[in-house]
Amino acid sequence: MEKVIIFVLASALVGLFFSRLHFHFSFNLTISRRGATEPNHASSSRATIRRVAKQTAGEISGEVPPAVRSIRQADDVSKRLQQAKDRAESDIFSALLNLGCEKGKAQNIARSAMGQGKDFDTRLTWALQHAA
């Protein structure tokens, strides 16, 4: 019985070895054939690298791509941005009112807070600090 198990394991190991050899050589032949039939893309990859570097430089310099410009110029986007700004301002106003701030003071602080940060949390923190 032990000899049968050893024979099965040995034959599986030999089969795995030849399978690996076959895969290795067939894979290498496929790559070498493809490389011989396709043109060399080294120059186009350099051009791609230059283009990406140029785009990155444009992003660093503050240049806005045309797609982003067209999105910002859309009336619907402008309306939605204004609605979001108004909603954030009203949320800050409501929070200040709930904390006991006077209505006029809360409205002025909420309006001023909209220019103080880039996100709602920093604006709210600023408004809370200045309401006290």
Q: What is the pLDDT of residues 41-76, one digit of tens each?
A: 555 566 666 666 665 545 555 566 666 556 556 667
Please tell me the predicted confidence (pLDDT) of residue 4: 92
User: Which whole number is the average pLDDT over 94-111?
Assistant: 88
Helix (H) or strand (E) holding 34: helix 2-37
pTM score, two decimals? 0.44
Token pair listed for 87: 């909603």
Please tell me the predicted confidence (pLDDT) of residue 19: 83
Please tell me the predicted confidence (pLDDT) of residue 6: 94
Residue for token pair 């003071």: 105
Please tell me the predicted confidence (pLDDT) of residue 74: 63
Please tell me the predicted confidence (pLDDT) of residue 83: 87
User: Which whole number is the average pLDDT over 29-33?
Assistant: 58
Quote the DSSP letter at residue 100. T
Token pair listed for 98: 């709930």
Which of the two residues, 12 and 78, has the higher pLDDT score?
Answer: 12
